[in-house]
Amino acid sequence: MTPATPADAGRLAALRVEAMRPSLEAAGRFDPVRARERFLSGFVARDTQVIRSEGELAGFFVVRDRGDHLYLDHLYLAAAFQGQGIGGRVVRALQEEARRRGIPVRLLALNGSPAGRFYQSLGFRAVARDALDTQYEWQAGG
């Protein structure tokens, strides 16, 4: 993993759009232009880590330190790198940091997406839900 730079923004936005496509299409909400712009409007390089495998862009994640919790804003892997345990390693490292600090990890996932099952398998629990998203939280010992 390496810190992102502003020059990475376009490639990361494209990866996000492709990674989200199946879930957003299933929800009837896929708009590639909107998905790209939404990511770029909130892109902060210092909060973003790029995941590479053998020099190839495998994915990225964005963690926002909110003081009282860590917010996992994005975690996306290119299709060729999914199912290899990369995402689980990223989340477990984040959980370990949160455990050391005594704070929870929070995130949102699109309702009905595979992401919800993924996070639940790592000990996250649903704490709130609206028409589009479910908020998940992980707390050490919880």
pLDDT of residue 106: 99
pTM reported for the whole predicted model: 0.90
The class (CATH top level) of 2-138 is: alpha beta
pLDDT of residue 93: 98
pLDDT of residue 69: 98
Give the three-class secondary structure for 113.
coil
pLDDT of residue 58: 97
Task: Report domain extents, the chain.
Answer: 2-138
Q: Which residues contact 13 (CB under 8 A, 6 or more apart)?
A: 35, 36, 39, 40, 43
pLDDT of residue 24: 75
Please provide the size of the chain in residues.
142
* pLDDT < 50 stretches in the chain: none
pLDDT of residue 32: 85
Q: How far is CA 140 from CA 25, 32, 73, 90, 122, in A?
A: 34, 36, 19, 16, 11
Give the three-class secondary structure for 44.
coil
Sheet holding 70-77, edge to edge: 2-3, 48-53, 56-65, 70-77, 105-110, 133-138, 125-129
pLDDT, tens only, 70-85: 999 999 999 999 999 9
pLDDT of residue 84: 94
In contact, 106 and 72? CB cutoff 8 Å: yes
d(CA 123, CA 24): 24
